[in-house]
A and B are shown apart, each in its own frame.
Chain A
Amino acid sequence: MAPTKAKTASKPRLAVWKFASCDGCQLSLLDCEDELLAVAGAIEIANFPEASRAVAKGPYDVSLVEGSITTPHDAERIQMVRKQSRYLVTIGACATAGGIQALRNFADVKEFTSIVYATPQYIQTLKKSTPITDHVFVDFELRGCPINKHQLVELVSALLNSRKPNVPTYSACIECKRRGTVCVMVAQGTPCLGPVTQAGCGAICPSYHRGCYGCYGPKESPNTAALSVGWSRLGVRGDDLVRVYRTYNAYADAFRRESEAHEK
């Protein structure tokens, strides 16, 4: 982290915003136990309700946005956030792809509401859960369900030093190779989404003898069709292929199209 040049006036001002989400991605900021006090020294945390009662008015230099847009009120609120922010960065699968709650996009939301709530008319919700980029211009996005805290520190550090964040867009496979993990799909026949999933987590699942389940969403130009052929050879059927692509990044273009291709 860059040393603080000036004590108060020139500190960049950070705001953290929450929309529909589990709070996990903003918790990643509080999970930076070793870096938190250094970060707090280098920037002014101007608006972070999960951590503080104090709310300073905008404008903000950096807004971190967690969560997806699911209510009429939130669709208006995100416009206000954009207007007050120099850089708007979305953090996590909900903000970048609509999140697990985007599974409603493939179903009838009225039926969903009546399953969970006895009095559905009390509930105000939109038909679709949509990523932030469907509503406002997004300067940068951090992927993952949840985001990787090292990527978050890299992002804040890059913005403080006016450089581009070093966040690769290649597949999780590269991280397995670097880590020295033997390919679980080739060696054990364990179905794995690694080849079509963006790196960033550090390829955790294969190191635990489990196939990647795609929580960082599609990488740049993923060949999902070819991977699905590989999965079918390992005995994964149509319905299950739909389920595989319909999790935390279900509404990300590449995963959405592939899931629809296997729907009867």
Chain B
Amino acid sequence: MKSKSRAPRGGAAKLKAIKVGFLARVEGEGGLHVKLRDGKVTDVKVNIFEPPRFFEAFLRGRRFTEAPDITARICGICPIAYQMSSIHAMEDILGVKVTGQLRELRRLIYCGEWIESHVLHLAMLHAPDFLGYEDAIRMAKDHPDLVKLALRLKKAGNEIVRILGGREIHPVNVRVGGFYRVPSKAELQPLEEELKWARDAAQQVVQFTASLPMPEFEQDYEFVALRHPDEYPFNEGRLVSNKGLDIAVREFDEHFEEEHVAHSNALHSRIKRRGNYFVGPNARYSLNFDRLSPIAQEAAKAAGLGPVCRNPFQSIVVRAVETLYAVDEALRIIGQYEPPDRPCVDLEPRTGTGYGCSEAPRGILVHRYRIDNQGVILDAKIIPPTSQNLRTMEQDLWHFVPQNIHLGPEKLTWQCEQALRNYDPCISCATHFLKLTIEEESS
């Protein structure tokens, strides 16, 4: 990657633009436009033309109990994340703390979503980039065992969501205060055998991702993730970064801001007075390595990952490690499960503002609501992980394109796409985001 990173004058200047009209293998609609002059990047825009859907507007006037089901519809890939962030925000307002087995069941259903979403992305959407296939179906012709293993592993995650939530997409069983119905031990037990297989399979997936050809690209990111005193984070913890941030979720608005830019139907987030930041698997992992279970830590070490991972391309390895963790954690929860006496705690609406933040597969998802004493939503704010990563995604390309201009238009365009897919961008989420174009300005 390094030998030709400085192309001779004039040679690379032929490349005028990198254009990806419609970025594939992401959730939602967006593109990329990179402008070049004499081999230097002059502009990078991640365009988002996914149509806006106005969730924050029509949540006004709805009951607080409706937020989990309505906000789940922002994203069909990570509905649990929306359900979890919204219920925690509402419980923050109502002064309710859900503990014990109900809290464990929330972690369990989140494990299911991480497995399903991570395996979908790493095997079906991201791995084909590393191996040079247009898609997983074509990859399956040469690597049938890998694709079959991934499909079965993904299904194991979906099974957790289905049993606990009723269905894989937009599950129906999660509510503010708990669940509508909690599973019996006998309902969860069939998961155990498949998850034991899945633990071995996830270890194989970690090894596979570690064997992939990996572009050398490291940046000095500000990683932001939840951190909990004794758990790898799903639903709870403080918001921390590797550059000194350490705040309660309630303090989010004091430290973060959003900006509306012309080329995007998604808002861009940044840390006040500092700028862009990075959320998602690499951030979570680098800030919480010590909270992973021993089996996940060992697999990460064997895959050559240190306790901090600054190469976004290696996110595919980190996702595999997190998948292994989620399988391991699901087994722990199922192993100790005793059905709670009641599926839900009592709720009494009261006036107030509350925050909820949970770790969606793509990174922190923040919800803020204000409700009145009847439980009617007066105001809603939703900050999805992809919109928080947009600036960092653009920043990556400012640095990545000049280092790799020697690759030629076709390969460079593909690698730019791959660089964006590092973030598993969910455009449906970000507009509540993607199209790639690289353009040479005449000099």
Contacts and interface: CB of A to CB of B under 8 A. Distances in A.
Given A22-B76, A25-B76, A243 B173 contact: no
20 contacts: A18-B29, A22-B73, A23-B27, A27-B169, A31-B158, A37-B148, A37-B151, A49-B23, A49-B25, A51-B136, A52-B134, A53-B417, A54-B135, A103-B58, A115-B54, A117-B267, A145-B170, A208-B179, A210-B180, A247-B70
B367 interface: no
A207 B166 contact: yes
A27 B76 contact: yes
A50 B26 contact: yes
Interface in A176-210: 201, 204-205, 207-210
A51 B140 contact: no
Interface stretch (B32-40, B59-67, B216-224, B228-236): B59-67
A201 B66 CA distance: 20
Contacts of B24: 49-53, 55
Given A50-B26, A146-B169, A125 B52 contact: yes
B252 interface: no
A82 interface: no
A197 to B, nearest CB: 13
A47 B78 CA distance: 24
Interface string A124-158: 01000000000000000000011001000000000
Contacts of A207: 166
Contacts of A21: 76, 428
Closest 7 A/B residue pairs (Cβ)? A24-B76, A52-B135, A54-B134, A112-B57, A103-B58, A33-B155, A115-B57
A207 B166 CA distance: 8
B125 interface: yes
A176 to B, nearest CB: 14
B166 A20 contact: no
Nearest to B125: A51
A255 interface: no
A81 interface: no
A101 interface: yes
A74 B28 CA distance: 14
Interface residues of B, number: 70
A25 B432 CA distance: 17
Contact of B57 (A34, A49, A107): A107
A103 B62 CA distance: 11
B52 to A, nearest CB: 6
Given A50-B27, A146-B169, A208 B181 contact: yes
A21 B73 CA distance: 8
A199 B49 CA distance: 34
Given A34-B155, A117-B267, A248-B73, A101 B53 contact: yes
Residue with the greatest number of chain A CB neighbours at <10 A, chosen from B52, B148, B179, B267: B52
Nearest to A129: B53
Given A51-B135, A51-B136, A100 B53 contact: yes
Given A20-B53, A33-B151, A207-B166, A115 B158 contact: no
B338 interface: no
A213 B53 CA distance: 21
A123 interface: yes
B69 interface: yes
Interface string A207-218: 111100101000
Contacts of A71: 51
Given A25-B169, A37-B148, 7 more contacts: A33-B152, A53-B128, A71-B51, A123-B265, A125-B52, A204-B166, A208-B166
B105 to A, nearest CB: 13
B172 interface: yes
Contacts of A248: 73
Given A100-B53, A243-B62, A52 B25 contact: yes
A116 interface: yes
Nearest to B264: A122
Contacts of B54: 101, 103-104, 109, 112-113, 115-116
Contacts of B167: 146, 201, 204
Contacts of B265: 122-123
Contacts of B267: 117-118
Contacts of A54: 134-135, 138
